């Protein structure tokens, strides 16, 4: 049964006469405290916050004066006291509450300024278990939630970015804050504690290796409000989870207009793909359109890799995303800007390359400082009606797999290198995925089809189109290898690839008709390798 409400109407304007300030992040604290004091607000504070305020020459009461009890246990216990929480939770227009406050000498607090121990930052720093636990704030969330619940009388500020708006509102309302403003502060406060608790619960699940906790929470902080989502009639915002995995969320944007919803989605796909390629082995370029690669290649240089990647599907590359695994240099930049491109993302960029890209004022250039680790564990969530689908990141890497030759003919060393390359790319192509590759470059990609045969045919057709555009006598699928993200359920998909010119195949295997598929490969002298790992990507 729900807790009954007394239905006492909340006042619109509440004068701010006493403020409790207790913050870890002291950004803007002194200027804010000075402005409050100048407005006649009594300042109450705790620990280091009180010392900093007093050090600025401001009058401040220590919270122990309100509680009659000193801070103990290294500051773990300081605000957890009825004199504080009664001051925050008391319904001042309720006669019973008012009497209790009077009888117990509880002085109301009208404004609370609190932010939390940096749990998220300490967790990301690689600190030990004890240090991480010590940075789980208890008193702060308790005060924040109490103040937010009683927003009818108390204003709660959890973000230094809101100090200016609070001061402006106080000035506009002659020292009071409106109910609407207090509600908005409360909503933000509850969102902050929810995100904080999500980080803590997620960390515990990770440490204890609980793959599927009974309660799962995700949180994030708004980074930007976007003009629209996937389509102009959809609203959208970009939230940061705090994960420091190199990518679009952690990158620095050196130039160009604001990223759109689709830009961010596609750029993430591009950089995750190119992260599969070790920069110490070769340069690599991935060109992405609508979250699918339209060209991927390795080369001695980024310029060479870009030329090979572009040749796979130069039509689709128009308006695409270009990702690379090495520092963007001037030669590569010169080539990339010749084709209309939405975003370039790289670990870094030289000054010369940055200047070349700057000539295209709308072209976004992002630098990340590193590459995402394709082997790293992680969690992926997808919303469905009424719930979330949560799974671990697909961190299987072809170089780590035990590849099994299942045909009479084994791949040549050159074919095996291309097979691994193609399977690495297929991991990042929407299912059903077919990828033709030759000499360390994609030469045909079929993505997102309901039938694997259709994906194979589309990839071959696009290879024909690319050959015509380049003036070649035959498509580059002739003499190529082919990768399939999942097994061939029938031999027809394989036969389609053979017809396109493939000489070797890599696929997971595991179909009831594997023997039929292997027999078809042997009949045509095709080498086939099983990986034992599927890469569905929906």
The single-letter DSSP state of residue 529 is E
| Active-site residue, from 290, 331, 360, 478 | 290
Q: Phi and psi (nearest 5°) for 435?
A: -130, 120
φ/ψ region of 288 (left if φ > 0, alpha if ψ in -120 to 50, else beta) reads: beta
Helices (H), 337-379: 351-358
In the block, which residue shows the tokens 């039938």?
451
User: Which structure tokens are listed for 382?
Assistant: 């997808």
The single-letter DSSP state of residue 2 is P
What CA dihedral angle connects 309, 311, 315 and 316, to 10 degrees?
A: -20
User: Which structure tokens are listed for 199?
Assistant: 């980080």
Q: How far is the CA of 459 from the CAs of 164, 169, 427, in angstroms?
A: 56, 60, 16
DSSP states along 271-319: HHHHTTS-TTT-EEEEEEETTEEEEEEEESSHHHHHHHHHHH-TTTTTT
Helices 452-470 and 302-312 cross at an angle (nearest 10°) of: 110
User: Which among 77, 26, 76, 17 is positioned nearest to 53, based on CA atoms?
Assistant: 26
Q: Phi and psi (nearest 5°) for 505?
A: -135, 140
User: What 3-state DSSP class applies to 57?
Assistant: coil
Strand ordering across the sheet containing 283-289: 252-255, 364-367, 341-346, 320-324, 283-289, 292-299
Contacts of 348 (CB under 8 A, 6+ apart): 327, 328, 367, 369
| Active-site residue, from 81, 149, 188, 360 | 149
The single-letter DSSP state of residue 165 is H
Contacts of 205 (CB under 8 A, 6+ apart): 211, 213, 216
User: What 3-state DSSP class applies to 513?
Assistant: coil
Active site (annotated) includes residue 290? yes
Strand ordering across the sheet containing 404-405: 404-405, 527-530, 504-507, 481-484, 434-437, 442-446
Q: Is the dihedral of CA 301, 304, 308, 313 positive or negative?
A: positive
User: What 3-state DSSP class applies to 253?
Assistant: strand
Active site (annotated) includes residue 149? yes
436 membership: H or E segment, kind and range: strand 434-437
What is the set of active-site residues? Answer: 149, 290
């Amino acid at each position: 049964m729900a807790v009954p409400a007394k239905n006492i109407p909340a006042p619109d304007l509440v004068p701010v006469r006493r403020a409790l300030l207790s913050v870890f992040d002291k950004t803007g604290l002194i200027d804010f405290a000075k402005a409050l004091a100048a407005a006649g607000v009594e300042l109450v504070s705790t620990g280091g916050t009180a010392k900093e305020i007093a050090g600025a020459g401001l009058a401040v009461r220590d919270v122990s004066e309100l509680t009659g009890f000193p801070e103990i246990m290294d500051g773990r216990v300081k605000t957890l006291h009825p004199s504080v929480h009664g001051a925050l939770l008391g319904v001042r227009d309720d006669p019973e509450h008012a009497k209790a406050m009077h009888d117990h000498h509880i002085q109301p607090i009208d404004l609370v300024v609190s932010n939390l121990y940096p749990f998220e930052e300490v967790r990301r720093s690689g600190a030990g278990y004890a240090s991480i636990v010590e940075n789980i704030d208890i008193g702060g969330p308790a005060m924040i939630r109490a103040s937010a619940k009683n927003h009818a009388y108390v204003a709660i500020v959890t973000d230094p970015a809101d100090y200016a708006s609070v001061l402006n509102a106080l000035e506009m309302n002659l020292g009071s804050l409106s109910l609407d403003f207090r509600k908005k502060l409360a909503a933000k406060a509850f969102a902050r504690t929810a995100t904080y608790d999500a980080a803590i619960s997620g960390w515990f699940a990770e440490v204890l290796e609980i793959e599927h906790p009974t309660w799962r929470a995700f949180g994030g902080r708004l980074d930007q409000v976007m003009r629209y989502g996937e389509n102009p009639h959809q609203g959208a915002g970009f939230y940061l989870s705090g994960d420091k995995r190199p990518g679009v969320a952690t990158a620095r944007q050196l130039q160009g207009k604001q990223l759109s919803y689709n830009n961010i989605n596609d750029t993430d796909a591009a950089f995750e793909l190119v992260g599969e390629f070790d920069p110490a082995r070769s340069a690599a370029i991935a060109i992405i359109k609508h979250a699918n690669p339209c060209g991927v290649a390795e080369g001695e240089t980024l310029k060479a890799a870009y030329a090979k990647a572009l040749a796979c599907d130069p039509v689709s590359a128009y308006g695409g995303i270009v990702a690379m695994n090495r520092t963007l240099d001037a030669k590569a930049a010169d080539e990339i800007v010749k084709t209309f491109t939405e975003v370039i993302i790289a670990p870094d960029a030289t000054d010369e390359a940055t200047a070349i890209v700057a000539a295209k004022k709308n072209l976004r250039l992002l630098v990340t400082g590193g590459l995402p680790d394709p082997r790293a564990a992680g969690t992926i969530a997808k919303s469905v009606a009424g719930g979330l689908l949560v799974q671990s990141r697909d961190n299987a890497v072809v170089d780590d797999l035990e590849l099994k030759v299942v045909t009479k003919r084994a791949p040549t060393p050159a074919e095996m290198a291309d097979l691994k390359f193609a399977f690495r790319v297929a991991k990042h192509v929407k299912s059903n995925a077919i990828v033709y590759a030759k000499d360390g470059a994609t030469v045909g990609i079929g993505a997102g089809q309901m039938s694997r045969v259709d994906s194979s045919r589309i990839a071959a057709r696009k290879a024909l189109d690319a050959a015509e555009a380049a003036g070649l006598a035959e498509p580059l699928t002739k003499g190529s290898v082919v990768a399939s993200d999942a097994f061939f359920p029938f031999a027809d998909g394989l036969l389609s690839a053979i017809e396109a010119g493939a000489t070797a195949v890599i696929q997971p295997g595991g179909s009831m008709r594997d023997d039929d598929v292997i027999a078809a490969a042997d009949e045509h002298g095709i080498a086939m390798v099983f990986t034992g790992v599927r890469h569905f990507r929906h």
